[in-house]
Protein backbone atom coordinates (compact mmCIF):
# COMPACT_ATOMS: atom_id res chain seq x y z
CA UNK A 1 0.00 0.00 0.00
CA UNK A 2 0.97 3.48 0.61
CA UNK A 3 2.66 4.76 -2.55
CA UNK A 4 1.33 7.37 -4.93
CA UNK A 5 2.89 8.41 -8.21
CA UNK A 6 2.45 12.10 -8.94
CA UNK A 7 1.29 13.34 -12.32
CA UNK A 8 4.98 13.65 -13.31
CA UNK A 9 5.63 10.03 -12.23
CA UNK A 10 7.54 10.82 -9.01
CA UNK A 11 6.94 8.22 -6.27
CA UNK A 12 5.61 9.48 -2.94
CA UNK A 13 5.59 7.01 -0.01
CA UNK A 14 3.46 7.36 3.11
CA UNK A 15 2.99 5.68 6.47
CA UNK A 16 -0.47 4.19 6.96
CA UNK A 17 -1.53 7.12 9.12
CA UNK A 18 -0.62 9.79 6.53
CA UNK A 19 -1.75 8.00 3.36
CA UNK A 20 -4.59 10.02 1.76
CA UNK A 21 -7.89 8.34 2.68
CA UNK A 22 -9.41 8.62 -0.77
CA UNK A 23 -8.11 8.53 -4.31
CA UNK A 24 -10.02 11.73 -5.08
CA UNK A 25 -8.24 13.63 -2.29
CA UNK A 26 -4.86 12.29 -3.41
CA UNK A 27 -5.52 13.18 -7.02
CA UNK A 28 -6.29 16.81 -6.12
CA UNK A 29 -2.88 17.17 -4.49
CA UNK A 30 -0.64 14.81 -6.49
CA UNK A 31 -2.45 14.25 -9.79
CA UNK A 32 -2.84 17.83 -10.97
CA UNK A 33 -0.61 18.38 -14.00
CA UNK A 34 -0.74 22.16 -13.43
CA UNK A 35 0.87 21.65 -9.99
CA UNK A 36 3.20 18.66 -10.35
CA UNK A 37 3.73 18.54 -14.12
CA UNK A 38 3.47 15.86 -16.79
CA UNK A 39 5.22 12.54 -16.93
CA UNK A 40 8.50 12.14 -18.79
CA UNK A 41 8.63 11.84 -22.58
CA UNK A 42 5.24 13.47 -23.08
CA UNK A 43 3.34 10.64 -21.36
CA UNK A 44 0.81 13.00 -19.85
CA UNK A 45 -0.63 12.54 -16.38
CA UNK A 46 1.06 9.58 -14.66
CA UNK A 47 -0.92 9.82 -11.38
CA UNK A 48 -1.44 6.46 -9.70
CA UNK A 49 -2.95 5.75 -6.28
CA UNK A 50 -2.01 2.84 -4.00
CA UNK A 51 0.82 1.68 -6.26
CA UNK A 52 3.16 -1.27 -5.90
CA UNK A 53 6.32 -0.48 -3.93
CA UNK A 54 9.35 -2.35 -2.61
CA UNK A 55 9.07 -3.91 0.87
CA UNK A 56 9.63 -0.97 3.20
CA UNK A 57 11.40 -3.10 5.81
CA UNK A 58 14.15 -3.81 3.27
CA UNK A 59 14.66 -0.21 2.13
CA UNK A 60 15.36 3.21 3.59
CA UNK A 61 12.10 5.04 2.89
CA UNK A 62 10.51 7.80 4.94
CA UNK A 63 6.94 9.05 4.91
CA UNK A 64 6.53 12.00 2.53
CA UNK A 65 4.18 13.68 4.97
CA UNK A 66 5.54 13.18 8.50
CA UNK A 67 9.08 11.91 7.83
CA UNK A 68 8.63 8.69 9.84
CA UNK A 69 10.79 5.75 8.76
CA UNK A 70 8.58 3.27 6.90
CA UNK A 71 8.50 -0.29 8.21
CA UNK A 72 6.83 -3.60 7.48
CA UNK A 73 3.69 -2.27 9.23
CA UNK A 74 3.34 0.33 6.46
CA UNK A 75 3.41 -2.17 3.58
pLDDT tens, 7-21? 999 999 999 999 999
CB-based contacts of 24: which residues, under 8 Å, 6+ apart?
A: none
pLDDT at 43: 87
User: Contact 12/29 with Cβ under 8 angstroms?
Assistant: no
pLDDT at 3: 95
Q: Is the pLDDT of residue 1 over 70?
A: no
pTM of the model: 0.89
Q: Where are the domains of the chain?
A: 3-74
User: Contact 2/65 with Cβ under 8 angstroms?
Assistant: no
> What are the E-state strand segments in 1-75?
3-5, 11-13
Could you report the per-residue pLDDT of 26-65, keeping only the tens digit for each?
Answer: 999 999 999 989 998 888 999 999 999 999 999 999 999 9
Amino acid sequence: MPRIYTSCSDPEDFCKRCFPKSEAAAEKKYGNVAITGEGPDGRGNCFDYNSVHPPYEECDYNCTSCGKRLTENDN
